[in-house]
Amino acid sequence: MTLPENSTGHVVAEFGIDAPISLVNHQPKRQYLLAIVVVVALGVVPLWITRFSPLVDYPMYLARAYVLKEYKRVEFFQTEFKRVLAPMPNLATDMAVPPLLTIFAPEFAGKIFLSATVILFVFGCHILAFAIHGRPSWLAPLCGLFAYHSAFLYGFSNFSFSFALFLSTFGLWILACEKPSPAKRVGLALLAITIYLAHLAGLALDSTRSQNRSPANCARPSTTRKPHLCSVSQS
């Protein structure tokens, strides 16, 4: 399947989907915006009303980010852990949280990252629906409620961030097909690299949507350049 030259708003026809009831008309746009804000609040507020988020593996990710931040200062960390400089596809928390730890306590830095993941997921639902239908869809705030999917509840924060970023990138890719440009190609390539570094599963989804769906003259993400970043593995 290939997208037409002016793909935005016509992807529904390509997929054989017709859902006019779900689309947002001009008049209820304020209600739609309010619905998005409410969904974001429903996802973010629970993260801040408890001191520690009850997500299964999340404390391990947060601890790893703290070790990275304090690695050079704490001799115990240097003895027990080995810092690996490699572009491993599981680094979302490792890249985002250590800089936050220079300003915030670990629990607050983690909450900021989790909140950003929820907001990015809801934005991804919005931008993907907008790209497919050519205007906002009421399905977007409904899908945004799934920001608390099972992987998120299990504390797989790297996967959750990568998946949320994939949704946004997929929507932007469709929008870029309408008026492709070198700047958009570079931007999408950088987003694809970020998806890879965040978690490999997000890139797998990104590759799946690109396979056999290559519109002519359309921006396509590339992952040929992979910067070296830090992670920690126990000796």
6 domain residue, yes or no: no
Q: What is the pTM of this model?
A: 0.78
213 domain residue, yes or no: yes
227 domain residue, yes or no: yes
Domain count of the fold of the chain = 1
1 domain residue, yes or no: no
Domain that holds residue 214: 11-234
pLDDT 10s digits, 81-117: 998 888 889 999 999 999 999 999 999 999 999 999 9
4 domain residue, yes or no: no
Average pLDDT over the chain, rounded to an integer: 82
127 domain residue, yes or no: yes
48-76 b/e (C-beta count within 10 Å ≥ 16 → b) = eeeeebebeebbebbebbbbbbebeeeee
User: Can you spell out the DSSP letters for 178-231?
Assistant: TS--HHHHHHHHHHHHHHHHH-HHHHHHHHHHHTT---TT------------EE
Distances (CA, A) of 36 to 181, 225, 232: 30, 35, 37
Spatial distance between the Cα atoms of 172 and 128, rounded to a whole number of angstroms: 7
Spatial distance between the Cα atoms of 225 and 235, rounded to a whole number of angstroms: 28
Write out the chain's pLDDT in tens, 235 residues. Answer: 445 444 444 444 444 444 455 676 665 788 999 999 999 999 999 999 998 888 999 999 999 999 999 999 999 999 999 988 888 899 999 999 999 999 999 999 999 999 999 999 999 999 999 999 888 999 999 999 999 999 999 999 999 999 999 999 999 999 998 889 999 999 999 999 999 999 988 666 655 555 544 443 443 334 333 333 344 444 3
201 domain residue, yes or no: yes
Q: With pLDDT > 70 as the criterion, what percentage of the chain qualifies?
A: 74
2 domain residue, yes or no: no
